Amino acid sequence: MMSELAESNRAVVDDAPPRSRWLPWRKQLLRDKKALFGLIVLAVLTLTAILAPLIAPYDPNAMDFMMMEGPSLAHPLGVDDLGRDLLSRLIHGSRISLFVGFSTVALALIAGVALGVIAGYFGGIADTIIMRYIDLQWAFPNFIIAVYLVAVFGTGLANVIVAVSLAFVDDFARIARGMVLTIKQEQYVDAARTLGASHNRIMWRHILPNATAPIIVQATVSVSYAILAEAGLSFLGLGVEADTPTWGLILADGRSFISRAWWIGVFPGLFIMITVLSINFLGDAMRDVLDVREVKAD
């Protein structure tokens, strides 16, 4: 359709092969020893959770007559007060704990980011209404809100997930809004408006992809909080049903026997600690890597 451009007017472009923008930070993440530790632990835990029925040596609810027996070859982590194998219960418990952790964060992330992006992008009345609500929620500790919501909705796994995710919405909304306010000023957003792009297109195609770094970091941190929140709710008897093996519930049971059978309380606590620690290591590393926006490549 067009005639030639003078040869002198062509750009000189080197022949470097196109690089993936994700490669550098993937590499960098693996070089970080703590992040690598976190990644491996999480991978093992996830795999255990998925394959729980195959891996667990016993049925988590099968009872034996050797109640409150300490760690032995037959029961590596001991037996609880009802004669159930602790290792099997913890392995099955990882399913629920991890599921609650990841699904609440996924829900909170979707809702919070949507609210934050809309508030930041449109400003004005929408911003005022959304952010005043978020401020209100911000004033209370997340866990208190989760307790309150469970009290309203009733206990049970689904309700716990909804309650904890609602309690975490404000963190994501606040971060997303802050990012949008900055990115909204970028010239590529003006360029998209000049092209006639719709608000939806600008919000989700232009602004959000550039706001991901702090949101990802917040998500990793929140996963560990969510696991703790579920454990806490179960500990208070506001979580799942009493016979469901979750880390929080096992820990709560173990409390009564701490002087006679330390393993019932200590091992679920260790599992929670290691998981949360791994996720936090990963989150810290991601913060370090993703904060260096773009500079790496040039």
Binding to other proteins (CB under 8 A) within 109-128 occurs at none
CB of 152 to other proteins, least distance (A): 32
Using CB under 8 A, pick the residue from 54, 124, 125, 194 that binds other proteins. 194
200 binds other proteins (CB under 8 A): no
CA–CA separation, 292 vs 23, rounded Å? 14
CB of 192 to other proteins, least distance (A): 7
Using CB under 8 A, pick the residue from 46, 61, 210, 280 that binds other proteins. 210
From 77-85, 129-137, 205-213, 251-259, give the range in contact with other proteins by CB under 8 A: 205-213
CA–CA separation, 203 vs 212, rounded Å? 13
For other proteins, which is the closer residue by CB, 198 or 256? 198
Judge whether 225 and 142 are in contact, CB under 8 Å. Answer: yes
Using CB under 8 A, pick the residue from 54, 195, 200, 260 that binds other proteins. 195
Judge whether 78 and 70 are in contact, CB under 8 Å. Answer: yes
- From the list 94, 114, 251, 99, the residue with the least C-alpha distance to 160 is 99
User: How many Cβ atoms sit within 10 Å of the Cβ of residue 37?
Assistant: 16
For other proteins, which is the closer residue by CB, 260 or 298? 298
For other proteins, which is the closer residue by CB, 23 or 47? 23
Using CB under 8 A, pick the residue from 1, 125, 139, 152 that binds other proteins. 1
Using CB under 8 A, pick the residue from 190, 241, 243, 291 that binds other proteins. 190
CA–CA separation, 246 vs 240, rounded Å? 8
CB of 198 to other proteins, least distance (A): 8
CB of 12 to other proteins, least distance (A): 9
Chain-centroid distance, C-alpha 86: 26
Site string for other proteins, 6-45 (x = CB under 8 A): x-xxxx-x--x-xx-x------------------------
From 36-44, 51-59, 103-111, 184-192, give the range in contact with other proteins by CB under 8 A: 184-192
192 binds other proteins (CB under 8 A): yes
Binding to other proteins (CB under 8 A) within 269-298 occurs at 294, 297-298
For other proteins, which is the closer residue by CB, 95 or 177? 177
Structure tokens at 212: 């991901």
- CA distances from residue 259 to 68, 153, 274, 276 in whole angstroms, order as listed: 12, 35, 23, 26
CB of 223 to other proteins, least distance (A): 24
**DSSP track, 145-186:** HHHHHHHHH-SSHHHHHHHHHHHHHHHHHHHHHHHHHHHTTS
Q: Which residues pair with 287 in a beta bridge?
A: none
- From the list 234, 227, 145, 132, the residue with the least C-alpha distance to 174 is 132
152 binds other proteins (CB under 8 A): no
Chain-centroid distance, C-alpha 13: 42
- From the list 259, 269, 264, the residue with the least C-alpha distance to 69 is 264
Contact residues for other proteins (CB under 8 A)? 1-3, 5-6, 8-11, 13, 16, 18-19, 21, 186-188, 190-198, 201, 205-206, 209-210, 294, 297-298
